[in-house]
Amino acid sequence: MDAFVSLIYGFGVLADPMNIVYMFVGIFLGVLIGVLPGLGGANGVAILLPLTFSMSPTSAIIMLSSIYWGALFGGAITSILFNIPGEPWSVATTFDGYPLAQKGKAGQALTTAFTSSFFGAFIATIILTFLAPLIAGFALRFGPAEFFAVYMLTFCSFVGMGKEPPFKVLAAMMLGFALAAVGMDGVTGQLRMTFGTTELLRGFDFLIAVIGLFGVGEILLTMEEGLAFKGRDAKINAKVVWETWKEMPKYFWTAIRGSIVGCWMGITPGGATPASFMSYGLAKRFSKNGNKFGTGELEGIVAPETAAHAAGTSALLPMLTLGIPGSPTAAVLLGGLLIWGLQPGPLLFVEQKDFVWGLIASIYLGNLAGLIVVLTTVPLFASILRIPFSIIAPIILVVCAVGAYTVNNALLDISVMLVFGVIGYLFKKCNYPLAPMVLALVLGDAAEDAFRQAMLISQGDMTVFWSNWLVGSIVTLALVMLLWPVLSAGIDAVRGKKDTTGDLPSA
């Protein structure tokens, strides 16, 4: 009941006409970002974050989160019409979306994708509405040891539960920790790794790093590949939408399953991309038409789109309640909160009620507004892709440079952005994941401070991390996740040996 009252209060905050304007502007920019390969939700938020410093935190987060929702919607447009994933999580949508467009049913495929995205986000927002206050209340019991345990759980889950090789994840994360340590020590006030220069006193700004890693790095890679846009035209009218909506109830349980998978992968640091692939695989396995997946099945669009949008939305749950981002975009938003002087965590729900519930209310309206925007503007956004990429790429680079410069009004930051862009390019070429590095860069200082505070309180006794059932269970779970690749390999080996023994002929 309290959640309902708080949500109504949030809609009252959202009733400010300027907040509505910011929401629609954010959605439109987000769809544009999602449509253009080379940009992405995390980079779009990072580039535009400096432009929101003059806004109130509530208006700024509404606009930035709306960019995220728009990017989630926009990624499906290029996947279906051009077979070019505008976002990483849209790759699975190409499997059935593009073949359906080739059959002349692009409008039906797009309507299915947009409606599924809205459904997944709606389910995730309901979960966010009712679980966030409960988790926040529970997290009030956290001290330095408990917070470090949660940070440790996040880092370990990236290593053990991700699809990338654990060594590459660890290497990326260690580089992120090293970069986060540059500058002034928050506990002792000593300088670390500044090499005698004053330029590094403030360390590496995560925002400049993100713009370089995601924006410049992706542009360099795309330019090298010589991307060219070729695709189908699309028109969506009321008849196509209505006919598609009449058919979609057949895939209700597929949408529910995709939403559950997405929410789980969003709350844990899995993210929208693995959620979309996992949901597509489950749908293919359980569908009676699974053998037709890849030829233009609507169910093959419903599954990844519901999961991706649910994951993108539910990633805000751990960020708001514990200060732990569930996705790279959530990590960028987390940095924005810190810049605005807001400390994510349980006290945020008490001290900044306007901010939290205004944001949650904007998610409901933002996704509905996003659905309306994409259904009415598909031809416009599709036509943008007929502009040569040689023209689009320099424009994106200029926007990235402006975004980096406005953080501290320093020309040096543009050079730092370009260096991070080269790092991002090399990471992508060598198939190293960027998300663990961004996570370590954003949370490295906070994790270090929590660990050192816990050590000071316990006078150096490491058993403080097993001093009660709460911190002990989190640390144990973190270690299990860290060692999960080894444990799962051992379990598979034991099972294989049993199967081999069972197949031996009896004497």
pLDDT digits (tens, 9 = 90+) for 332-389: 777 777 777 777 776 777 777 777 777 788 888 888 888 888 877 766 665 655 667 6
Contact (Cβ atoms closer than 8 angstroms) between residue 53 and residue 339: yes
pLDDT digits (tens, 9 = 90+) for 393-440: 787 787 678 767 766 777 888 888 888 889 888 888 888 877 678 778
Q: How many domains does the chain have?
A: 1
- Residue 501 belongs to a domain: no
Length, in residues, of the chain: 507
Contact (Cβ atoms closer than 8 angstroms) between residue 68 and residue 329: yes
Please report, as a single letter, which amino acid is at residue 370. Answer: G
Largest CA distance in the chain: 83
How many angstroms from the chain centroid is the CA of residue 365? 20
| pLDDT at position 507 | 43
pTM: 0.64
Q: Is 411 exposed, middle or buried (0-12, 13-18, 19+ CB in 10 A)?
A: exposed
- Quote the CA–CA distance of 130 and 126 in Å, as a whole number: 6
Percentage of the chain modeled with pLDDT above 90: 0
- Residue 331 belongs to a domain: yes
- Residue 344 belongs to a domain: yes
- Residue 505 belongs to a domain: no
- Residue 506 belongs to a domain: no
Domain residue limits at 83: 1-493
- Residue 236 belongs to a domain: yes
pLDDT digits (tens, 9 = 90+) for 18-70: 888 888 888 888 887 777 655 666 667 777 777 777 777 778 878 877 887 78
